[in-house]
Structure 1
Amino acid sequence: MVRTGPVLSVSAEVEAALAAGGPVVALESTLIAHGLPRPRNRGFAAELEGMLRSRGVTPATVAVIEGVPTVGLDEAGLARIADDPAVAKASVRDLPAAVALGRTCATTVAATSVLAARAGIRVFATGGLGGVHRGAAETFDESADLPTLATTPMTVVSAGVKSILDVDATLERLETLGVTLLGWRTADFPGFYLPTTGRRLDWTVRDAREVADAMATRDGLGLTSAIVVANPVPAGQALDPAVHDEVLRTALRRADEQGLRGKAVTPFLLATFHTETGGASLEVNLAVVRNNAAVAAEIATAWAAR
């Protein structure tokens, strides 16, 4: 059966906050459905939303629930995304089919950005961006996050990109696509599990007011591309660099030996990190998202104050 339901559903809490000009931060749901083990994923989703509310910020977790793109999940929606193993992953290209066919899907960075922006939200906290994959010159494997951010006026707080990607190519693509990249109190581009990838950034911001100023300037110039705020994980919460490098070499070698290509590569590499680090990479993942949500709360509050 083909559904013809509402194009977008915004929760009463989020709608009221937006109408009042209050701070709102969007959150993706792919992390909940596919990035964390059950039942810890459900508890972390509630923790993240609670952390934002404690800072006076309204959380807006985004997903597609039975064919309805939803901005601001209620308790039942969060439970569905967290507990149902049949929940699919939806990027931007999947939204028309997911909505028309009445499916329930967790949204990626790209899909979350599009739906949140459509609702009027300007700030989004995630873990790490997708990017250009290793070997993309032959496979053309590039995350939909990048072209989507080129046309979506969202400010995304992330810890850079995972080291399993081609960092240099990803930075080149962000530049080509006109995505503004700001280092949050750093001149080094972070590598998700690590505070730095060794690549320098052109622009550094000291506080949330400076990010809000950049957002206002972007609007004034008529630009519609995203601003990415690169927030490094604190050194004390990062993976040990030596362990990280050894696990990365092992994971890449095993993927090559097994002939993995395309979509199969990233889940395999991340699973290898989890196994080889004894679960330490998962704890870094959680720390990254917490830190990014805290920075996003500051930025959303500064933006609302304008």
Structure 2
Amino acid sequence: MRLPSTLRRLPNLSTRSRGLATLRPRPAGFAQFLKISDEVKSALNAGQPVVALESAIYTHGFPHPQNLELAQDIEAVIRAHGAVPATICMLNGKAVVGLSSKEMEQMTDSANHKEKMKVSRRDLAFALGTAMNDPTRSLVGGTTIAGTSVIAHLAGIKVFATGGLGGVHRGVEKTMDVSADLTELGRTPVAVVCAGSKAFLDLERTLEYLETEGVYVGTFGSDMYPAFYSREAGIKSPSVVRDAKEAASIIYASHALGLTSGQLFANPIPSEFEIPNSEIQSIIKSAVSAAESAGASGKDNTPFILADILRRTEGRSIKANRGLILNNAKMGAQVAVELSKLEGSDRSYGF
């Protein structure tokens, strides 16, 4: 039986003097399943800005080699804005944080093969435990927002940039389909920068769920909550964030208070890549209906709907997706830089 949120969030934290890093004590033996690159390790120990990145978008979203090009472009944007990228995925029986060029190629190449996993929180122990027991069962795993957040927190990374958040699916009263991304934000202190929730979800119920989980939600420069492809969908944002500096201050205050929930910073898609809400909604309605007819549910639902939207928009949706992800990478880097200034450099994660 799952404990109420208030009980699950009772403090169990270790606080460091500079930066007040609220890292919960790491479980014994976790290091054997984690591989952190030297670059990311050095940056964390030096208090330099680091931005976590998911990998499910590469293994289950874009085909190869377009996914490799996107991964390289995202990391380049983060470096250009003063932060260190930390792409997270499952490779060779380890949760890898920060990929080499060879590892990036191995991870993105899996998009064209069936032997891969989409890894959320529930899948982490299975993916790592089965590979430990039998190395021949080691698969490439693309981590979702939930899976990435767990590993990022274990590594000591506080800022995570991605495309769009999962959420409460339409028709939830029949399917009970609620993304694990939402509950993860409620129990893991990692800030997520994204273009709002994916537009085919029930956005109002998604925001209600996040409120119940104690997750702060703010939108950069607007009082309207963005809807992935669209800058707004007629739904008010719970709050407005002026810039990266203000976002960093919110993250810093949350860690200083010992809060164990994350924050969601919605970053509207740049206008040049936007598909207006009035246009995309009819397309989404058709895609959702097609998914129901095809019996695409659970982890297969989102990939089916995104592929159907891509077909119906004749490729415009993937251009929008690419544009918003690069924009979020830029903002994520700026937030991480401002947070590192607040925290100072006198800290060590003991790697």
Q: TM-score if structure 2 supplies the norm length?
A: 0.83
1:96-140 deviation digits (Å, cap 9, x = unpaired): 110112222111000101101111111000000111111111211
Residues 65 and 262 of structure 1: CA distance in aligned 2, closer, same or farther (over 3 Å): closer
Residues 10 and 89 of structure 1: CA distance in aligned 2, closer, same or farther (over 3 Å): same
Structure with greater contact order relative to length (CA < 8 Å, sep ≥ 6): 2
Amino acid at match of 1:111: G
**Runs (4+) of structure 1 moved beyond 4 Å?**
none
Counterpart contact for 1:5–1:68, Cα < 8 Å: no
Which one of the candidate residues 75, 79, 84 is aligned to 1:58? 84
What CA distance in whole angstroms lies between the structure 2 residues aligned with 1:207 and 1:240? Answer: 24
Which one of the candidate residues 99, 103, 106 is aligned to 2:128? 99
1:1-306 counterparts in 2 under 5 A?
Answer: 6-84=32-110, 85=113, 86-102=115-131, 103=138, 104-306=140-342
Amino acid at match of 1:236: E
What CA distance in whole angstroms lies between the structure 2 residues aligned with 1:30 and 1:96? Answer: 17
Please report how far the alpha carbon of residue 185 of structure 1 lies from its aligned counterpart in structure 2 after TM superposition.
0.9
Structure 1 residue runs of 5 or longer lacking an equivalent are none
Counterpart contact for 1:139–1:262, Cα < 8 Å: no
Counterpart contact for 2:161–2:193, Cα < 8 Å: yes
* Deviates most, 201-210 or 282-291: 201-210
1:214-273 deviation digits (Å, cap 9, x = unpaired): 112112222110011000102221114343122112212323334443333322211111
Amino acid at match of 2:167: G
1:129-162 deviation digits (Å, cap 9, x = unpaired): 1111111112111111111111111111011111
**Counterpart secondary structure, 1:156:** strand
What CA distance in whole angstroms lies between the structure 1 residues aligned with 2:312 and 2:201? Answer: 18
Amino acid at match of 2:55: S
Counterpart contact for 1:81–1:87, Cα < 8 Å: no
Please report how far the alpha carbon of residue 7 of structure 1 lies from its aligned counterpart in structure 2 after TM superposition.
2.5
Q: Paired residue for 2:16?
A: none
Counterpart contact for 1:5–1:67, Cα < 8 Å: no
Q: TM-score if structure 1 supplies the norm length?
A: 0.95
Structure 2 residue runs of 5 or longer lacking an equivalent are 1-29, 132-137, 343-351
What CA distance in whole angstroms lies between the structure 1 residues aligned with 2:31 and 2:145? Answer: 23
Question: RMSD over aligned Cα, in angstroms?
Answer: 1.5
Question: How many residues matched?
Answer: 303
Amino acid at match of 1:13: E
Counterpart contact for 2:82–2:334, Cα < 8 Å: no
**Counterpart secondary structure, 1:6:** helix
What CA distance in whole angstroms lies between the structure 2 residues aligned with 1:69 and 1:21? Answer: 22
Please report how far the alpha carbon of residue 275 of structure 1 lies from its aligned counterpart in structure 2 after TM superposition.
0.5
1:175-195 deviation digits (Å, cap 9, x = unpaired): 000000011111111100111
* Deviates most, 94-103 or 255-264: 255-264
